C-alpha cells in the first residue's frame, strides 16, 4: 500500500488533498470545542437582554440555555460532517482530474524517451496547453530533433567515408590482381599508379583526421595580432614554385595601411594556403591568380581570385560541404582531393568569428573565395 503511494503521482496528489481536508476538519472541530461554548453563551446573553428589554421571558433560564446549546451543537456537527464529506468528494474528483492532466503528458514523455533510447529518433510528443509541462514537451521535441539530425549526419558521414575509401582501394586491389594474373605488366608505371592511389588514401585519412579535430574544436586557437601583409606574402612565397611550374602568375594586391588582424597565424596560413592551392589546382596553364587584402569597417577581407574553371552558380552554396566536389571526375583529373579542404577552411574561419564565401560568374569564368578576420582594435 505504502509502495503504491510511493510509486504513483496520482495517489500522492489524492493523499495531499485528503490531508488538507482532514486538517481543515480537525481545526474546525477543535475550534468548535473551545470557542463555540463561549461565543454561544455571549450571543445568547445578548439575545436574553434584548428579550428582557422587550418584556419577553423564559429563554434566559440556564436549563433552557443548555438544551439550546446541545441542539445547536448537534446540528453544527451534522453540518460539519456533510461539509467534510463534500470536501472529500471534491478532493477525490480534483485529484483524479489533475492527475490525468499532469500524469498523462509525463507518461507520454517517458514512453517517448524510452523509444528514443531504443534508437527511434523520429519519436515526438504532443504539446498541449501552455504550462510548464507543455514547455517541457516542446524542449523534449527539440532535443529529439537535434538527436535525429546528429544521427543522420553520423550515418551520412559513415556512408561518405566508406564511399571515398572504396574508390582508391578498388583501384589498388584491381592493379594488384592484374599484376598477380599477369594481365598488367610489372612496370614502373604500374607501381607508380598503385603508389599514387595509396597516397590518395593517405591524404584522405589525414584530411579526415584534421576535419574531425577542427570540427570538434580539439585544438587551441592562439589569437594574436597578425600582420596580414606578411600572411599573404608568406603563402605566396611558399606556393611560388608550384605556380611557376604550371605557368600561372600569382599576384598580390595589398591596400596600404592595412591593420593587424586577430588570428592564429598557423591557422590563417592554413586557410589561405588551402584557397590559393585550390586556385592553382582549378586554373589551367597561363592563368592568373590574385591574392588581395582590403580593410572593411571591423574586419580585414582576404580574397583569392582566379581565372580558372569557375563554378556553376547552383554549386556555390555547397562547395564548403564535406566531400563536395563540383564534378568528381573533373577535380580528380585536375589532381583534386577529397572535397574536405574547404570544409576545414570554413570551420577554421568560423572558429575565428569570421565568414567565408565564394563568388563565381559561372563555369569557365573564374572564381573568388573570400574570408574575413576581425581587426585588432
Ligand X SMILES: Nc1ncnc2c1ncn2[C@@H]1O[C@H](COP(=O)(O)OP(=O)(O)O)[C@@H](O)[C@H]1O
Alpha-carbon separation of residue 294 from 50, 227, 301 (angstroms) = 104, 13, 5
**Span 334-353, contacts to Mg ion by CB under 5 A:** 337, 341
The answer to whether residues 372 and 299 touch, using CB atoms and an 8 Å cutoff, is yes
User: Which residue pairs from 135-141 have beta carbons closer than 8 angstroms and sit at least 24 positions apart in sequence?
Assistant: 136/109, 137/105, 137/109, 140/109, 140/112, 140/113
Of the candidate spans 9-17, 127-135, 239-247, 278-286, the one that interacts with ligand X by CB under 6 A turns out to be 278-286
| 294 DSSP β-pair partners | 301
How would DSSP label each residue in 249-269? EEEEEE-SSPPPEEE-HHHHH
- Using CB under 6 A as the binding rule, whether residue 287 contacts ligand X is answered as no
State in angstroms the smallest separation of the CB of 278 from Mg ion: 4
Closer residue to Mg ion in complex, CB, 341/354 = 341
Closer residue to Mg ion in complex, CB, 99/278 = 278
The answer to whether residues 322 and 157 touch, using CB atoms and an 8 Å cutoff, is yes
Q: Which does 367 bind (CB under 5 to 8 A by kind): ligand X, Mg ion, none?
A: ligand X
Residue found by looking up cell 527511434 in the block: 120
Report the residue from 48, 168, 308, 354 that binds ligand X according to the rule CB under 6 A: 308
SS3 of residue 292 by DSSP: strand
Q: Which does 95 bind (CB under 5 to 8 A by kind): ligand X, Mg ion, none?
A: none
Q: Of 367, 356, 357, 368, give the one whose Cα is nearest residue 311.
A: 367
Of the candidate spans 167-175, 192-200, 293-301, 322-330, the one that interacts with ligand X by CB under 6 A turns out to be 322-330
- Using CB under 6 A as the binding rule, whether residue 357 contacts ligand X is answered as no
**Span 223-282, contacts to Mg ion by CB under 5 A:** 278
Sign of the Cα torsion 43, 47, 53, 58 reads negative
State in angstroms the smallest separation of the CB of 221 from ligand X: 21
State in angstroms the smallest separation of the CB of 330 from ligand X: 7
Report the residue from 112, 326, 347, 373 that binds ligand X according to the rule CB under 6 A: 326
- Using CB under 6 A as the binding rule, whether residue 306 contacts ligand X is answered as yes
- Using CB under 6 A as the binding rule, whether residue 336 contacts ligand X is answered as yes
Distance from chain centroid for Cα 144: 10
**Span 31-60, contacts to Mg ion by CB under 5 A:** none
State in angstroms the smallest separation of the CB of 225 from ligand X: 28
State in angstroms the smallest separation of the CB of 339 from ligand X: 4
Residue 325 gets which letter from DSSP?
-
Residue 313 gets which letter from DSSP?
G
Contact residues: Mg ion, CB under 5 A: 278, 337, 341
Contact residues: ligand X, CB under 6 A: 278-279, 282, 306, 308-311, 319, 324-326, 331, 336-343, 367
Amino acid at each position: 500500500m505504502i509502495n503504491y503511494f510511493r510509486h504513483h503521482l496520482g495517489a500522492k496528489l489524492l493523499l495531499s488533498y485528503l490531508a488538507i481536508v482532514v486538517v481543515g476538519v480537525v481545526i474546525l472541530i477543535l475550534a468548535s470545542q473551545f470557542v463555540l461554548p463561549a461565543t454561544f453563551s455571549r450571543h445568547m446573553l445578548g439575545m436574553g437582554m434584548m428579550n428582557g428589554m422587550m418584556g419577553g421571558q423564559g429563554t434566559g433560564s440556564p436549563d433552557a440555555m443548555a438544551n439550546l446549546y446541545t441542539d445547536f451543537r448537534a446540528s453544527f456537527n451534522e453540518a460539519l460532517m456533510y461539509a467534510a464529506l463534500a470536501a472529500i468528494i471534491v478532493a477525490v474528483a480534483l485529484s483524479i482530474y489533475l492527475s490525468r492532466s499532469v500524469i498523462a503528458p509525463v507518461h507520454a514523455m517517458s514512453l517517448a524517451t524510452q523509444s528514443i533510447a531504443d534508437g527511434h529518433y523520429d519519436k515526438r510528443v504532443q504539446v498541449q496547453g501552455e504550462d510548464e509541462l507543455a514547455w517541457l514537451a516542446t524542449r523534449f521535441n527539440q532535443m529529439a530533433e537535434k538527436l535525429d539530425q546528429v544521427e543522420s549526419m553520423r550515418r551520412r558521414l559513415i556512408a561518405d567515408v566508406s564511399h571515398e575509401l572504396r574508390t582508391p582501394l578498388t583501384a589498388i586491389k584491381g592493379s594488384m590482381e592484374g599484376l598477380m594474373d599477369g594481365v598488367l605488366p610489372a612496370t614502373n608505371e604500374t607501381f607508380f599508379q598503385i603508389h599514387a592511389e595509396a597516397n590518395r588514401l593517405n591524404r584522405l585519412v589525414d584530411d579526415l583526421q584534421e576535419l574531425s579535430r577542427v570540427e570538434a574544436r580539439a585544438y587551441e586557437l592562439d589569437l594574436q595580432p597578425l600582420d596580414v601583409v606578411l600572411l599573404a606574402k608568406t603563402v605566396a612565397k611558399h606556393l611560388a614554385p608550384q605556380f611557376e611550374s604550371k605557368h600561372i602568375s600569382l599576384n598580390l594586391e595589398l591596400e596600404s595601411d592595412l591593420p593587424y588582424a586577430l588570428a592564429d597565424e598557423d591557422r590563417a596560413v592554413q586557410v589561405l594556403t588551402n584557397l590559393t592551392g585550390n586556385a592553382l589546382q582549378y586554373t589551367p596553364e597561363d592563368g592568373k591568380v590574385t591574392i588581395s587584402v582590403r580593410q572593411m569597417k571591423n574586419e580585414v577581407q582576404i580574397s583569392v581570385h582566379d581565372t580558372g574553371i569557375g563554378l556553376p552558380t547552383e554549386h556555390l552554396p555547397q562547395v564548403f560541404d564535406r566531400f563536395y566536389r563540383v564534378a568528381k571526375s573533373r577535380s580528380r583529373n585536375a589532381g583534386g582531393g577529397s572535397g574536405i579542404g574547404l570544409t576545414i577552411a570554413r570551420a577554421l574561419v568560423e572558429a575565428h568569428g569570421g565568414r567565408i564565401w565564394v563568388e563565381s560568374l559561372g563555369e569557365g569564368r573564374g572564381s573568388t573565395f573570400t574570408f574575413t578576420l576581425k581587426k585588432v582594435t
